[in-house]
Every structure is written in C-alpha cells, then in structure tokens.
C-alpha cells in the first residue's frame, strides 16, 4: 500500500525523466498525504502532459463524493473487474510524480516508519489511474489513485503490499492509451529488489504537519522509538497522528489529513 510519499527532486528532473511538455515549478514536498493535490503524468495521443489532481479517486458515476469512501490505492488483482476502476484502467492511466514513499512496519502495538527510494535516488515512476469527477453543480475535479501490487522481497520484510513501480519500457506502455489491457496487467508485477533502498526513518513522518527534509534521513534508535517516560497522552496523540497509515484500500475509511498545496 501507499499512504504517504514525497516529491523532493527539482522539477526539471521529473520533466527530463518523463518528457511532458509543460514546465511546472514546484517546491519539494516531504510528506504528501491523501486528499492533497499531487502531480501526475498522463498521455494524450503522442504527447505527455503534467496534470495536478486530487489524491483520492472518484469514479464518474459517483453522485455525492461525501457518500463515497476515500480511495487512494487500487489493487492490481481486482482493478480490471471492480466497477470503480474498470474504465480508468483501460483508458486513463497515469504516473505519479514521486521519488520516495513511506511504509509502516507493525510490531505489536507499534508502527515503525520506513522510507523507500530508488537506489539511484532518482524519480520513482509509481503507476496510477485517474478520473474526472463532476459534482451536481457542474464543477469538475481530476482525481487519481496509486496502483498497488504484492511486496517484493525487500519490502515484504515490513509490509505485504507496495506501489507498482515502472521501468522505462513499462512506463511508456503504461501511459500509452493504446496498450492492450492484457499487456497492462503484465506491467504490475513487483519491481526487482535491487531497484530500491529501504531506510528506517523518524516517527515525525507520522504527523502530516511535519514536512521537511529531515523526514527522509535514516533514523537513530532514539528518533525511531518513543522516548523513555513518555506519557500515555503522548502515546495516544502519536497513534492519532498515525490514523490512516497502511489503510489505503479500495474502499477504506476516509481519514482527515491536513490539506496542503503541492505548488
């Protein structure tokens, strides 16, 4: 699964990697959460484009967004069958701009955060789907979800799911609207272990309000564990901040992370 990620590289690094025609300028974000605006790449004809979308997928047939659960991930095993995703996986595939994501390892009642990045520390092409949703007043919003798959060997040590991460050839096929659906399914296998690096990081990432470069730094033992003598109230507050982590399923309960702007 994927419930938080980061976009920290210069904008030109993503443009060079993905070849979209726009030249957006945006600051680094170290703790992007559901419902916040996110940058994605789509393809129209032969041209790739940068688009800003809401992270939280809404299929076009939804009448009232308040009655539909927050959908941040789409499982590859059921993406072609579920009515929520069937149209998007065929015609509206995208790639999320990212260079890291966070995952939490559960150990008893505790959850330890890890940052996952490419070994190259370059862009991480996370596969997604998107849909334009229209409200009853005629307003439109573009929405997107990250496609997930089984964890590879590296990630399986901390969680059983991970985002679909595309290679160069897979990226081109994923974005191409003409790619047959049977080939699309073959692009969603877990990526090789040696593409990724895994670092235990500070529990500060649990709180959406924390958004700084220190979140990606490998944690010391003191940073990763609760300080001795911490009160029960502090523990409860930390757990409240963790609500929603590892919860990103197709029909998961909506959480209330702080809203923020990517730009």
Which residues form the catalytic set?
2, 103
Measured from the Cβ of residue 22, the count of other Cβ atoms closer than 10 Å reads: 12
Instruction: Name the residue with tokens 């007043």.
Output: 137
The answer to whether residues 126 and 5 touch, using CB atoms and an 8 Å cutoff, is: yes
What are the structure tokens assigned to 250, written together? Answer: 């197709």
SS3 (DSSP) at 196: strand
Sheet strands (E) in the chain: 4-7, 29-32, 37-44, 47-55, 73-75, 93-96, 100-107, 110-118, 126-134, 140-150, 161-163, 196-200
Nearest by Cα to 128 from 172, 96, 173: 96
């Amino acid at each position: 699964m994927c419930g938080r990620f980061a976009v920290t590289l210069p904008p030109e690094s993503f443009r060079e990697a993905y070849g979209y025609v726009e030249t957006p300028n945006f600051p680094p974000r170290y703790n992007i959460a559901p419902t916040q605006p996110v940058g994605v790449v789509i393809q129209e004809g032969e041209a790739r484009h940068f688009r800003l979308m809401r992270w939280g997928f809404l299929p076009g047939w939804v009448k009232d967004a308040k009655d539909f659960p927050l959908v941040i991930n789409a499982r590859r095993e059921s993406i072609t069958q579920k009515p929520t995703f069937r149209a998007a996986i065929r015609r509206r595939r995208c790639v999320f701009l990212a260079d890291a994501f966070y995952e939490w390892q559960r150990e008893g009642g505790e959850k330890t955060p890890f940052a996952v990045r490419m070994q190259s520390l370059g862009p991480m092409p996370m596969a997604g789907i998107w849909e334009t949703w229209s409200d009853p007043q005629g307003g439109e919003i573009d929405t997107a979800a990250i496609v997930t798959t089984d964890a590879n060997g590296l990630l399986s040590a901390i969680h059983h799911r991970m985002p679909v991460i595309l290679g160069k050839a897979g990226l081109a096929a994923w974005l191409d609207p003409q790619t047959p659906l049977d080939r699309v399914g073959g692009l969603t296998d877990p990526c090789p272990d040696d593409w990724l690096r895994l670092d235990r990081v500070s529990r500060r990432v649990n709180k959406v309000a924390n958004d700084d470069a220190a979140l990606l730094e490998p944690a010391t033992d003191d940073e990763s564990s609760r300080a001795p003598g911490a009160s029960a109230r502090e523990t409860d507050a930390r757990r409240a901040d963790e609500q929603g982590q590892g919860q990103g399923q197709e029909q998961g309960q909506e959480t209330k992370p702080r809203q923020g702007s990517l730009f």
